[in-house]
Structure 1
Amino acid sequence: MSETTHDGGVAVSAPTSPDEGLTAAQLAAKYGLAVSGARPSLPDYVRQLWGRRHFILAFSSAKLTAQYSQAKLGQLWQVATPLLNAAVYFAIFGLILDAGRGMDKDVYIPFLVTGVFVFTFTQSSVMSGVRAISGNLGLVRALHFPRASLPVSFALQQLQQLLYSMIVLFAVAIAFGSYPDASWVLIVPVLVLQFCFNTGLALIFARAGAKTPDLAQLMPFVMRTWMYASGVMFSIPVFLADKPQWIANVLQWNPAAIYMDLMRFALIEEYGSQNLPDHVWAVAGGWAVLFAIGGFVYFWKAEERYGRG
């Protein structure tokens, strides 16, 4: 295309672009471009997370190995820490405060140790989850991967740690007269349900901790309160026998108490079904599904905001 200039010359103008007049959004759609770091759809996000499963496993195993690498006893602390906590609680609550009233010592000691180990699993998952994003900003900002990989890997790390601790838990149960039987098979579904619940909780607090890093300083107080309200050191029905029944029901139906009671029922021979709340398996499954799905969706909704600002 040409035109004559004022001095008689000929000027050639550029041809009109086929994209002239298109907005940025229209141009992006035309050429298949996407916003860098944009949140993928939920099905795509699930596929991306599954594609990183080997990274999640390797990352959780590496974190577990490095956790006590500076200590002389090394990985023995994975078992020694909750066992020492159980010993302290037994001295204070079992001997001084008689929190095991209504139970023989042969029942109360495995009851207490089981409660400490199982609650520690949830507590550690929450505490590591709240720092999953805020404590790994260098990794989040340097590499592109589904951010849910981090809290999921931390929850998996705590599961691996509990599995090591289960060896001691089995030894304690056997030492006090609870020998392996068919009920021990129930340990597997209990751990699966609790892991799903813990993972959802870790995802929720990972998003909250990414926005409010100070939450990590508050959580120890929250977890300590939750522990005392969940019957780790005492039997909720026995201790609340003189209180309105609804109080005992609320405390027994809280997820930490549910998973502890199910593990005690599976492991301890004399801890019968009369100690469990009604519909216990349905409640345990409901908590697991609600938090696993709800926590995952809640975390995914803020995917594009992690590591920014």
Structure 2
Amino acid sequence: MSQVLDTPPPTATPGHPSDDAAALAARYGLTVSGARPSLPEYVRQLWARRHFITAFATAKLTAQYSQAKLGQVWQVMTPLLNAAVYYFIFGVLLGTKHGVPDYIPFLVTGVFIWTFTQSSIMAGTRAISGSLGLVRALHFPRAALPVSYALQQLQQLLFSMAALVVILLCFGVPLSFSWLLAVPVLVLQFTFNAGIAMIMARMGAKTPDIAQLMPFLLRTWMYVSGVMWSIDKVLSHSDLPHWAMVLLESNPAAVYIDLMRFALIDSFHAHQLPHHVWALAIGWALVAGVGGFIYFWKAEETYGRG
């Protein structure tokens, strides 16, 4: 009896199933916790959480100004105040309004559409690093976070668009069937914004300091996107090399801003748009949306660890 008790357990021999953790897990149907699913399965899981994404975006939007006395009014007031500041500095002091018909609708449209992209990217940069408690506590496709933040900014833009319509009508811009073009423009811009937000979410999860750098990069991007000035007017009197003109016209932020101006402002004509503008808008949306989604998915197992 003592001999049986004192006998050490048999040691695993190389190649024996007992020392093969993967084979043992497969035998008992075990899987790695938090393992990255296949891309089609990931898309299916994300679609299954669509109600969570919508509810999360709405809750974040409602809570954003909950401490302010004016509450949700700031959703409209913030971009309007920005537009007023830009009008005084660029339109009046620097004279960018000269030669631009309907400059105030032109400027306000640019500010609102740019703010949508800027806010989506900034929110996406902190989507993972700012939600570590949620990421570590619950199992869900992490792409739901940057997508929900982009959706939150779209909801905020829709509130602002109501004010934009009033401004357009007050400054004599007539109601037109071309306003319906705003719908596909917003769909394409949302796809682009969500893709960039996912790229920045992965980068921000690994290097949180990127969030401190982004305001400077976004401010530079804004200045070259024709938010406060007409790209078409400047390029027509410019000695810039051809490649620089192509970059300015193909800038995705400028593409979506100009398309929205073309849709809403009757004095903004088709000749002011870059060549193949709809192809550019669709291309940027596909490249950023699909590429950003795959880029984010590839690091799914790493979010919330470390």
**TM-score per shorter chain, which class?**
over 0.9
Give me the whole-angstrom Cα distance separating, in 1, the residues matched to 2:280 and 2:17.
60
* 1:102–1:23 distance in 2 versus 1, CA, 3 Å: same
With normalisation by structure 1, the TM-score equals 0.93
Q: Which residue of 1 aligns with 2:286?
A: 289
1:252 aligns with 2:249: yes
Cross-structure match for 2:266: 269
Of residues 93-102 and 154-163 in structure 1, the stretch that sits farther from structure 2 once superposed is 93-102
User: Which one is further off, 152-161 or 229-238?
Assistant: 229-238
1:211 aligns with 2:206: yes
Q: Which amino acid aligns with 2:121?
A: V
Task: After TM superposition, list the pairs within 5 Å mapping 1:121-200 onto structure 2.
Answer: 121-200=116-195
Task: State the AA in 1 paired with 2:249.
Answer: Q
- Among residues 67, 71, 88, which one is paired with 2:68 in the alignment? 71
Residues of 1 paired with 2:115 and 2:98: CA distance?
23
Matched-pair contact (CA < 8 Å) for 1:125–1:158: yes
Residue 96 of structure 2 is aligned to residue 99 of structure 1 = yes
State the Cα distance separating 1:31 from its structure 2 match: 2.1
Give me the whole-angstrom Cα distance separating, in 1, the residues matched to 2:8 and 2:197.
61
1:50 alignment partner, one of 47, 51, 61: 47
| Secondary structure class of the residue paired with 1:84 | helix
Whole-angstrom distance in 1 between the partners of 2:65 and 2:8: 72
TM-score, structure 2 as length reference = 0.93
How far off its partner does 1:14 sit?
A: 10
What amino acid maps onto 2:174 in structure 1? Answer: Y
Inter-partner Cα distance in structure 1 for 2:9 and 2:122: 62
Q: Deviations over 1:71-103 (max 9, x none)?
A: 000000000000000000000100110012212
The higher radius of gyration belongs to: 1
For 1:243, the equivalent position in structure 2 comes to 239
Q: Please give the per-residue CA displacement for 1:20-54, whole angstroms capped at 9, x wherever unaligned.
A: 54511111122221111111111111111111111
Q: Does 1:234 align with 2:229?
A: yes
Whether the aligned pair in 1 keeps the contact of 2:196 and 2:288 (CA below 8 Å) is yes
Structure 2 segments unaligned to the other structure (5+ residues): none
Give % identity: 66
Contact between 2:120 and 2:194, CA under 8 Å: does it hold in 1? yes
Q: 1:39 aligns with which of 22, 36, 40?
A: 36
CA contact (8 A) 1:86 1:113 kept: yes
Contact kept, 8 Å, 1:236 with 1:248, in 2: the verdict is no
Mean alpha-carbon deviation: is it higher for 220-229 or for 237-246? 237-246
Aligned residues: 300
Q: Any conservation in 1 of the 2:18–2:24 contact (CA below 8 Å)?
A: no
Q: Measure how far apart 1:153 and its partner are.
A: 0.3
* In 2: Cα distance, 1:190 partner to 1:21 partner: 59
Structure 2 CA distance for aligned equivalents of residues 95 and 77 of structure 1:
25
Matches for 1:294-309 after TM superposition, within 5 Å: 294-309=291-306
- Runs of 4+ in structure 1 off by over 3 angstroms are 12-15, 19-22
Task: Measure, in 1, the Cα distance between the counterparts of 2:44 and 2:271.
Answer: 43
Residues of 2 paired with 1:246 and 1:281: CA distance? 20
Unpaired runs of 5+ in structure 1?
Answer: none
Change (3 A) 1:238 1:142: same
Tell me, in whole angstroms, the C-alpha distance in 1 between the residues paired with 2:25 and 2:196. Answer: 37
Tell me the distance in 2 between the aligned counterparts of 1:199 and 1:181: 29
Q: Following TM superposition, by how much is the alpha carbon of 1:246 offset from its aligned partner in structure 2, in angstroms?
A: 3.2
Is the 2:17–2:24 Cα contact (8 Å) retained in structure 1?
Answer: no
Cα gap change, 1:297 to 1:91, in 2 (>3 Å): same
Distance 1:214 1:13 in 2: 54
Q: Secondary structure at the match of 1:98?
A: coil
Secondary structure, counterpart of 1:77 in structure 2: helix
